[in-house]
Amino acid sequence: MSKGKILVTGGTGYIGSHTVVDLLENGFDVVSADNYHNSTASVLDGIEAITGVRIVNHNIDLADQAATAKLFEEHRFDGAIHFAAFKSVGESVEQPLEYYRNNLNSMMNVMDGLQRQGSSNLVFSSSCSVYGNADELPVRETTPRKTAESPYARTKQMGEDILYDFCAHHRDFKAILLRYFNPAGAHPSGKIGESAANPASNLVPVITEVGAGKRDKLTVFGNDYDTRDGSCVRDYIHVSDLAHAHTLAVEALLGETGTENPALYNLGIGEGLTVLEVINAFEKVSGKTLNYEIGPRRAGDVIAVYADRSKATRELKWEPQYDVEDIMRTAWAWEEKR
């Protein structure tokens, strides 16, 4: 028997597709809405190969209010996970209006759709980038947000604020906000992973592309920071661990007893690793020597950020299963397959 019908927006995207798999494996029915802006329909084959289920994807633009309203006329959802968004920090600086229009309208349309059909239960994808250069490490959910470093990060701050305002008025609308740290790796089956649609700019895919000879070398953005080895510190979280947290969040919403609404959780492993440590992990699991050089600092980088994840572990019973070597092993297997 199905535990409920969940709308996953951005269901063919990187985190979305891994979450669809986890939801299906945990007894939920899933409908996806994704316009393939940053993915392809072939992801549906990967999901089917892992789970045996061919999910339906609605190829619509969620920023289009009429199209989104129609989706909610066709289905009655027990809840929604809203991943669909533009996510490139650099691009957001060049195209701020596109980012605000897309990321905020889509979110409001999904909230509207749920509310109009009398259901609630929304999981919203936020980001550790809302913390900016935080005053304390590890960051806790109560650590104050600082000025966003990019329009992308600001859309996440604004998305959070909109949800708080909405829930304050609609007391029966339940929501969970999840702040992701640095998602990386691929499904252990090797059948889904990060999309190759755009040239990679995040650390882990850049490393695997250099390892595969698709690009010459990796530039480490700075080794003169006040950290263990001078390179920046981040909290790398395996995408399948991140995905499972969404299933737990949906289960918590459906069986909700808590009082905090929206409830807010950090999703990181809780450990900071430097860029050089991530490179070492790659070299260890691949047996390759990575061609890298030390370059200048990258504008907008925070020095160090990693999560206190005790709240998600305590309340959602979330325990990450994978470490950085698993991340590099699965990311490398995915790269070699591509």
- Binding segment for ligand WQD (CB under 6 A), chosen from 56-64, 114-122, 159-167, 213-221, is 213-221
Query: What whole-number distance in Å separates Cα of residue 253 and Cα of residue 32?
Result: 19
Residue 316 binds to ligand WQD (criterion: CB under 6 A): no
Query: What whole-number distance in Å separates Cα of residue 293 and Cα of residue 314?
Result: 41
CA atoms within 13 A on the CB side of 205: 17
Contact pick of 44, 203, 253, 324 for ligand WQD (by CB under 6 A): 203
In this structure, how many other beta carbons lie within 10 angstroms of the beta carbon of residue 85?
24
Give the residues across from 32 on adjacent strands: 8, 57
Query: What whole-number distance in Å separates Cα of residue 233 and Cα of residue 187?
Result: 24
Residue 298 binds to ligand WQD (criterion: CB under 6 A): yes
Give the three-state DSSP class for 151. helix
- 103 within 8 A of 159, measured Cβ to Cβ: yes
For the segment 11-30, give every residue that binds ligand WQD (CB under 6 A): none
For the segment 236-255, give every residue that binds ligand WQD (CB under 6 A): none
Active site residue 152: yes
Residue 206 binds to ligand WQD (criterion: CB under 6 A): yes
Provide the greatest CA pair distance for the chain. Answer: 56
Residue 82 binds to ligand WQD (criterion: CB under 6 A): no
Amino acid at 44: L
Give the Å distances, CA to CA, from 230 to 76, 88, 205: 52, 25, 22
Q: Whole-number minimum distance, CB 234 to ligand WQD, in Å?
A: 5
Q: Whole-number minimum distance, CB 270 to ligand WQD, in Å?
A: 16
Residue 107 binds to ligand WQD (criterion: CB under 6 A): no
- Binding segment for ligand WQD (CB under 6 A), chosen from 113-121, 157-165, 197-205, 244-252, is 197-205
Joined together, the tokens standing for residue 298 give 């990258």
Q: Whole-number minimum distance, CB 150 to ligand WQD, in Å?
A: 7
Question: Where do we find the tokens 């992973």?
Answer: 193
- Binding segment for ligand WQD (CB under 6 A), chosen from 42-50, 106-114, 186-194, 196-204, is 196-204
Q: Which of 152, 225, 236, 265 is the catalytic position? A: 152
Residue 175 binds to ligand WQD (criterion: CB under 6 A): no
Query: What whole-number distance in Å separates Cα of residue 13 and Cα of residue 300?
Result: 25
Residue 87 binds to ligand WQD (criterion: CB under 6 A): yes
- Residues with active-site annotation: 152
Q: Which residues are near ligand WQD by CB under 6 A?
A: 87, 89, 127, 129, 182, 201-203, 206, 218-221, 232, 234, 275, 298, 301
